[in-house]
Amino acid sequence: MESMQNIKDVKEYEQVFQKYLEICNHAIEQNKDKFPYTEIWGARFKALKTEATLNAIVYDDRPKVEFMLRLTRDMKIEIVKKKDIKSEDEWPFTYQYLKRVVDNPQEYIENPAKLEWGWLKTVFGTTT
């Protein structure tokens, strides 16, 4: 049986990750018509034939929670489901990084280049 502290920790990781995705979505929405984001995101999203999914994991000293994410055609990042931690092909998000973004959302919304977007390469692949 999970201890109350472990359950509390997992809930906090889930909440921080959800807030992080909200900031990412807000940054996309607020900057989608600005150079260079229009060109970068527009080309990538247009290349999607369907909605894409990827696995993401939040860790601290060890993996804490894992999610399957979906990137939609309307440029939104959503949590599809929470998963059991066992995957080795996930993108790792450190809790410290997520917390820094969540604690300073406007900084990242106004400057989306400060966000770590590398994990989206899993969805889009590399460009030539």
pLDDT at 15 over 70: yes
pLDDT at 128 over 50: no
User: For position 22, what pLDDT does the model report?
Assistant: 94
Query: What torsion, rounded to 10 degrees, do the Cα atoms 27, 54, 95, 86 define?
Result: 170
CB 69 within 8 A of CB 25: no
pLDDT at 75 over 90: no
Output b/e per residue, 37-71; b: 16+ Cβ within 10 A: beebbeebbeeeeeebebbbbbbeeeebbbbbbbb
Q: Name which residue leads in pLDDT, 44 or 87.
A: 44
Q: How confident is the model at residue 103 (pLDDT cuts 50, 70, 90)?
A: very high
DSSP 112: G
